[in-house]
Chains A and B, each alone.
Chain A
Amino acid sequence: MADIPAFTPVHLLTGFLGSGKTTLLKRLLADPALADTAVMINEFGAVGLDHHLVERIDDTMVLLQSGCVCCTVRGELAEALRDLHSKRERGLVPPFTRVVIESTGLADPFPVLSTLKSDPVLRHHFRAGSVVTTVDAVNGLAQLDTYVESNRQAAIADRIVVTKADLCPGNAALVRLLSRLAELNPDAVRHIAAADGPGADALFGDDTAQRAARLQSASGFYCDAPAGLVTADGTPHQAAISSFVITVDTPVDWTGFGVWLTMLLNRHGERVLRVKGMLDIAGEDRPVAVHGVQHLVHPPVHMDAWPAGERSSRIVFIVDGLDPNLLKRSFNAFALAGKAADSPQPEAAAPVRNAQSP
């Protein structure tokens, strides 16, 4: 039986209404690779679990034949997760090593990630894993044009699964959708769903290892050619979501970068859908990877080595209506080494003296 990891990853399965989340989940639930997984869904009925169902743990939880725990979320997600954690500790459910949450079609996935980080119990036992977004090949383009939720779901995804590709008449529409998704989120891996793939491991496998490995691919990023601004050709929000890369050769000052990014996310967090980068930190031999979704930034990852011959900082931003040039200028002014650390400090307000200060 697999050991319980210190921090159980929580993966999120999201996608627009009718984009095939449940169909995908239904197929995955039968996969033995998902055996050590707890899945949280909105209702059993929708997934049609009956014939898989072997054991009912309680009102909201069942144990599937594959060994996977499945539970429905009633009300608070945090409560459901705490309950699941408690049951695992007491040995009432098998020791699952990851959690997959199916979110509703219209929900903004961000609050789920935020819950994991702020809940006093959960944040010591769980961590955010991958976000998998399903996009319907037939209606996907129209949804991206019309609904801001659909854009956000695609933009924050780590993996995108294009469903119903077999129903798509001709190849042209599919190609258009894929290139549109690449513009929105150059950094996500795109899968096309078929009867037998992508498997559970491809979607919910070891995300940290993959995240770091991908950052260390030959190009450093798997978006080799980041798309420029999406041209204004329709509804305002659609035109506004864009992705770009900041590349700098000067080492980054870690402290200055932290100050800058927290300041940026405090003011514009809702519009910074994604930030992901590999940084050349002043005084560090190895690269450091940062990864953030809206207001939430994952703990920075210390990577093993630089990809051959490439030693420069690269940060991908996916933003909703922020000016890339202004952002680049701001980054340069705040976060580059040699500026933040050594320059004379401008006159700040008088330091606070209080009884406790030495």
Chain B
Amino acid sequence: MCSLCGVIGGDQHWTDAAARPGVYTRNVERLDRRRERARRVTAVNRVLAAFGMGLSDWQGSSFVLATRTGKSEMIEDLGHLWPAAERLAGRPCDPLDPVLIARMESVSDG
């Protein structure tokens, strides 16, 4: 639980797995954790741009997902991101959508 806001911690997502012997995670040192969060925001924004949305870090503890018209939602981790993104976008965010794949490919090449 966060002592500041009293929010009870949600699921531990596999991309933020707690450091335990044998577990691969970047959720170890403070700097690694923050660096990974920054990289995640960048990587997610590459995808969300196709839906007219963006993600930003909030205090190193949550993320804020926002549309261009200002609708926004706070999310905890990648597990909560996509359902929220689909809700705000009003359409499915499908990584198997050929149009989206083509867009990601052209972004990578450019």
Taking a contact as CB atoms under 8 Å apart, the answer to whether A330 and B101 are in contact is yes
C-alpha gap A123/B44 in the complex (Å):
27
Q: Mark B36-68, 1 if CB is under 8 A from A, else 0.
A: 100110111111110011111011000010111
C-alpha gap A350/B55 in the complex (Å):
9
Q: A259 with B78: in contact, given A334-B95, A345-B42 (CB under 8 Å)?
A: yes
- Give how many A-B residue pairs fall within 8 Å (CB-CB): 148
Q: A260 with B54: in contact, given A301-B24, A339-B108, A349-B68 (CB under 8 Å)?
A: no
| Chain B binding surface SS class | mixed
B20, B54, B79, B110: which contacts A262 (Cβ < 8 A)? Answer: B79
C-alpha gap A78/B69 in the complex (Å):
42
Contacts of B39 in A (CB 8 A): 255, 341
What residue of chain B has the Cβ atom nearest to residue A118's Cβ? B11
Taking a contact as CB atoms under 8 Å apart, the answer to whether A256 and B92 are in contact is no
Q: Mark B15-27, 1 if CB is under 8 A from A, else 0.
A: 1011010111110
Contacts of B8 in A (CB 8 A): 120
Distance (whole angstroms) from the CB of B59 to the closest CB of chain A: 6
> Cβ of A302 < 8 Å from any Cβ of B?
yes
Distance (whole angstroms) from the CB of B31 to the closest CB of chain A: 15
Contacts of B96 in A (CB 8 A): 264, 267-268, 322-323, 326-327, 330
What residue of chain B has the Cβ atom nearest to residue A287's Cβ? B24
A-B contact pairs, 8 of them (CB 8 A): A258-B15, A299-B17, A330-B101, A334-B95, A340-B108, A349-B49, A351-B54, A357-B58
B contacts, CB < 8 Å to A = 8, 11-15, 17-18, 20, 22-26, 36, 39-40, 42-49, 52-56, 58-59, 64, 66-68, 72, 78-79, 81-83, 86, 92-96, 98, 101, 104-105, 107-108, 110
A contacts, CB < 8 Å to B = 6, 117-118, 120, 123, 208, 212, 253-256, 258-260, 262-264, 266-268, 281, 284, 288, 290, 292, 297-302, 322-323, 326-327, 329-330, 332-334, 336, 339-341, 343-352, 354, 356-357
